[in-house]
Amino acid sequence: MKIRMPTYIDRRTASLGRGTRIVRQIIGYLGPGFFVTVGFIDPGNWATNIAAGSQFNYDLLWVVTLSTIVLILWQHMSAHLGIVIGKCMAEAVHDHVRPGPMIVYGVTAMAAMVATALAEILGAALGLNLLFHIPVRIAAILAAALVATVVWFQRYRSLEKLIVAFVSAIGFCYLIELYLVKPDWAEAAYHTIAPKLNSQSIVIAMGVLGAVVMPHNMYLHSEVIQNRQWKGGSEQETRRLLRYEFVDTLVAMLVGFAINAAMVIVAAAVFHKHGVLVNELTQASETLRPLAGQLACVVFGIALLFAGLSSSMTAGVAGGTTFSGYLGKETTLESRWFRAGMLLTIIPACAAIMLIKDTFQALIISQVCLSVQLPFTMLPLFLLTRSPRVMGKFANSWRENFGMVVTGALIVFLNVLLIYKVFGGEF
């Protein structure tokens, strides 16, 4: 009789000690979704959420809701792919997609990695500027060098829990502030589910969308699954992994939804209500003043720095994994191809920051660029997960295919509206 070796989850569940088995297993599976969640509680999100709330009051809260629904589905499908085939998304595209489309997917994916890293490094630089008055360009170089060094020497895991805990604490500060700034709850609840969009708000709306549904996170989620050894040895174990992974993804994404929605609501109550136009991210430190008082600027600066550094590390890891995976090379952190991809993500992002004059607009535009690239990430993920040749009996159900087609088409439609606006159209 074949002896089943204990998996990573078995070992972690056993280490949790007392409690019912089902609760211990759920806790044991939590992790990959929350690692990905850091990517959308980052400087890009802060900029777009604060711009949305300060400029358009509660009108764009529905975009956060829509983005989270899309995010839960597509991040689950990314993890689904990783669990079933035991490879990350970039490796799967390399193995199963023709060279022509693969090149398009790969080049646009790396462009998205650079746009993501630009926002994250810029956020860290603004944090350094706010705290220590270091010029933004010099601060960006320092932040990029630190991120590259930490990822290169594989030290980011030792900092991961501290950074995630701190950034999460700042995020929850916004949840607490909901009780302090006295928003119009009825109007906020209405706009959370009632779409409202016009040619004036489309750019910010797509920035919010791109800041939540991020291409690099779809590539990253399937790779994190590999690092956690989530590969079923049997059909039963694979189904068990898929069930608990969905719980992990759902809980993590809902936490992200709460924090992002809170940012928009607080910005609306603090800025829009008093007619204040926000044109600098550091100006958003005022949103923390009801909670932190005179320390608001310092607390915001620390949060911005840590959020930028932590999300820059995940962007660097995603870039290294995507680059090496598309080339069919080893995706481990020690691989020279991984390190080359990481540098090809961070260095161009840092170089672009040297040319930026308006940092707040740069953050928003970088997130808009991510929304434009999204269809080029969604399409290969859809084609892979729906294919019985790739996924076997774990290929998508008709419900999953329907959900992916509808949400993917909606993203394309919104991008068409954005392009229409760029060329002078009004609606």
Looking at residue 38, which CATH number applies to its domain? 1.20.1740.10
> Is 229 or 246 the better-scoring residue by pLDDT?
246
Which of these, 113, 114, 143, lies nearest to 217 by C-alpha position? 113
User: Per the domain annotation, does 219 fall within a domain?
Assistant: yes
Average pLDDT over residues 331-335: 87
- What pLDDT digit, counting tens, does each position of 362-384 carry? 999 999 999 999 999 999 999 99
Question: Can you read off the two tokens belonging to residue 191?
Answer: 């706009």
Residue range(s) defining the domain that contains residue 409: 30-422
User: Per the domain annotation, does 13 fall within a domain?
Assistant: no
Count CA atoms closer than 13 A to 201's CA, side-chain side: 21
- At residue 21, does pLDDT exceed 90? no
User: Per the domain annotation, does 1 fall within a domain?
Assistant: no
pLDDT at position 295, please? 73
Residue with token string 């760029």: 422
Euclidean distance between CA atoms 129 and 126, whole angstroms: 5
Q: Quick check: 134 and 308 in contact, CB under 8 A?
A: no
- At residue 4, does pLDDT exceed 50? no
**What total of structural domains would you count in the chain?**
1
SS (H, E, C) the chain: CCCCCCCHHHHHHHHCCCCCHHHHHHHHHCCHHHHHHHHHCCHHHHHHHHHHHHHHCCCCHHHHHHHHHHHHHHHHHHHHHHHHHCCCHHHHHHHHCCHHHHHHHHHHHHHHHHHHHHHHHHHHHHHHHHHHCCCHHHHHHHHHHHHHHHHHCCCHHHHHHHHHHHHHHHHHHHHHHCCCCCCCHHHHHHHHHCCCCCCCCHHHHHHHHHHHCCHHHHHHHHHHHHHCCCCCCCHHHHHHHHHHHHHHHHHHHHHHHHHHHHHHHHHHHHCHHHCCCCCCHHHHHHHHHHHHHHHHHHHHHHHHHHHHHHHHHHHHHHHHHHHHHHCCCCCCCCCHHHHHHHHHHHHHHHHHHCCCCCHHHHHHHHHHHHHHHHHHHHHHHHHHHCCHHHHHHHCCCHHHHHHHHHHHHHHHHHHHHHHHHHCCCCC
User: Per the domain annotation, does 92 fall within a domain?
Assistant: yes
Give, in order, the Cα–Cα distances in Å from 377 to each of 88, 99, 108, 112.
13, 16, 8, 10
User: Per the domain annotation, does 90 fall within a domain?
Assistant: yes
User: Per the domain annotation, does 374 fall within a domain?
Assistant: yes
User: Per the domain annotation, does 21 fall within a domain?
Assistant: no
- What pLDDT digit, counting tens, does each position of 289-330 carry? 776 577 777 877 887 888 888 889 889 999 999 999 999 999
User: Per the domain annotation, does 17 fall within a domain?
Assistant: no
- What pLDDT digit, counting tens, does each position of 208-238 carry? 999 899 999 899 888 877 766 666 667 887 8
> Is 291 or 190 the better-scoring residue by pLDDT?
190
> Is 6 or 399 the better-scoring residue by pLDDT?
399
Average pLDDT over residues 141-170: 77
> Is 124 or 297 the better-scoring residue by pLDDT?
124
Question: Can you read off the two tokens belonging to residue 301?
Answer: 């600066």
Question: Can you read off the two tokens belonging to residue 382?
Answer: 């859809």
pLDDT at position 111, please? 96
Euclidean distance between CA atoms 61 and 132, whole angstroms: 34
